[in-house]
């Protein structure tokens, strides 16, 4: 083990001892680790650990134990942080994950990170979390699991150690993380949607008729406020205004979603081969512009739908998306009127339609920052349509 690793490992043990100070103690050894793994699944890291015996995060804290994932730099092996299993919050049953940044100067404060935690048995735990939730980049790293027991529960074998510990694997393992590439999404749930679930304060911005010369300015606003949107694109305009696919790739990189709005914006409610061709050609254009993303969201031009069209779109892998807030920005009513319509009708689960293309969209662009700021102040979270509907994203 490298000197730098030993220094930061000492910081880990000191932090563990401080975090469990005052707890009841038992004379024992650290919990033995049977197996452990760290893998990448799309955007997520999946950490699975299995011990020789049953364990409870609450009991571990009481006994001054810890079970943590050490995040180590691939280049020099020094520990940059640790993700630890923690007891559930009050009146909850699911354990938590706490992250602590570690430097040569010592550990920083621990904070809870969002995670999905499952237990297939009392000896095993799987935690799924985003590395970006604590600033970790998608690049190769090394890792180990450390099981500790702080004094006086055990006597360290060396005087320079704060407690006892077990590392698994014995030497740091390499995890080759890569930047996830979004390849598509899966249509699920209802075939035709006008709004999302109303039990969460989530709201979806959608923009039609792009790409357009103004689309980049819409992205500037969304990036400034760090909110996502869903863009329903006209296939025939992608080659002209998509800047060689740069606009579409920027959307996906920002966390936005792209939907299919037909090739040339005709009324396709009559269904049939014409509608299918319009949808297929646009999906192919989006796939080409993005380098492989296949959309699963479809919006009919003019909102003109039929049961036949909805069924046809679903057979092609699309959910047909309508809306329930329409400020009629295409009619150029003025930025104040657009703003008042959007914020006045906002509600949990709302789908807002506006336009980034198809004409002069300066009024929509002027209203957008105020819409976002007001709705955020009211406690709304902006999400894409796929997130609003809980649809699965496909990554490679």
- Catalytic center residues: 208, 355
Q: Mapping DSSP to helix (H, G, I), strand (E, B) and coil, where does residue 372 land?
A: helix
Written as six digits, the tokens of 137 are: 């980049």
CA-CA distances (angstroms) from residue 151 to 61, 162, 199, 219? 13, 7, 47, 54
Cα within 13 Å of Cα(124), Cβ side: 12
Backbone phi, psi, residue 325, to 5°: -130, 120
Residue 227, number of CB atoms within 10 A of its CB: 23
Residue 29, number of CB atoms within 10 A of its CB: 12
Q: Mapping DSSP to helix (H, G, I), strand (E, B) and coil, where does residue 394 land?
A: strand
Q: Tell me which residue has tokens 């354990």.
A: 95
Give the CA dihedral 218, 219, 225, 228, nearest 10 degrees.
110
Cα within 13 Å of Cα(349), Cβ side: 10
Written as six digits, the tokens of 177 are: 């993380």
């Amino acid at each position: 083990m490298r000197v730098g690793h030993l220094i930061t490992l000492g910081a880990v043990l000191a932090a563990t001892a401080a975090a469990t100070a005052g707890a009841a103690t038992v004379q024992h050894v650290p919990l033995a680790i049977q197996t452990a793994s760290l893998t990448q699944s799309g955007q997520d890291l999946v950490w699975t650990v299995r011990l020789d015996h049953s364990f409870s995060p609450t009991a571990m804290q009481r006994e001054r134990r810890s079970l943590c994932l050490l995040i180590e730099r691939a280049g020099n092996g020094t520990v940059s942080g640790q993700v630890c299993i923690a007891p559930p919050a009050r009146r909850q049953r699911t354990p938590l994950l706490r992250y602590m940044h570690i430097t040569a100067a010592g550990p920083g404060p621990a904070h809870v990170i969002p995670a999905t935690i499952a237990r297939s048995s009392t000896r095993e735990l799987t935690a799924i979390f985003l590395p970006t939730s604590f600033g970790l980049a998608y690049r190769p790293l090394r890792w180990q699991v450390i099981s500790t027991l702080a004094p006086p529960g055990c006597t360290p074998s060396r005087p320079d150690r704060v407690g006892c510990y077990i590392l698994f694997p014995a030497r740091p393992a390499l995890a080759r993380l890569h930047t996830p590439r979004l390849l598509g999404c899966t249509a699920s749930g209802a075939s035709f949607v006008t709004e999302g679930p109303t039990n969460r304060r989530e709201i979806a911005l959608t923009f039609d008729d792009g790409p357009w010369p103004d689309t980049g300015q819409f992205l500037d606003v969304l990036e400034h406020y760090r909110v996502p949107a869903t863009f329903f694109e006209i296939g025939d305009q992608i080659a002209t205004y998509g800047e060689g696919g740069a606009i579409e790739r920027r959307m996906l990189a920002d966390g936005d979603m792209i939907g299919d709005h037909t090739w040339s914006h005709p009324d396709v409610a009559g269904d049939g081969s014409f509608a299918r061709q319009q949808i297929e050609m646009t999906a192919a254009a989006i796939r080409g512009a993005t380098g492989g993303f296949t959309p699963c969201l479809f919006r009919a031009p003019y909102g003109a739908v039929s049961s036949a069209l909805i069924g046809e779109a679903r057979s092609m892998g699309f959910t047909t998306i309508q809306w329930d807030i329409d400020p009629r920005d295409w009619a150029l009513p003025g930025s104040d009127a657009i703003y008042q319509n959007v914020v006045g009708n906002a509600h949990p689960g709302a789908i807002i339609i506006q336009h980034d293309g198809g004409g002069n969209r300066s009024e929509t662009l002027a209203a957008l920052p105020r819409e976002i700021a007001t709705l955020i102040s009211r406690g709304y979270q902006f999400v894409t349509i796929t997130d609003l509907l809980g649809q699965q994203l496909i990554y490679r």
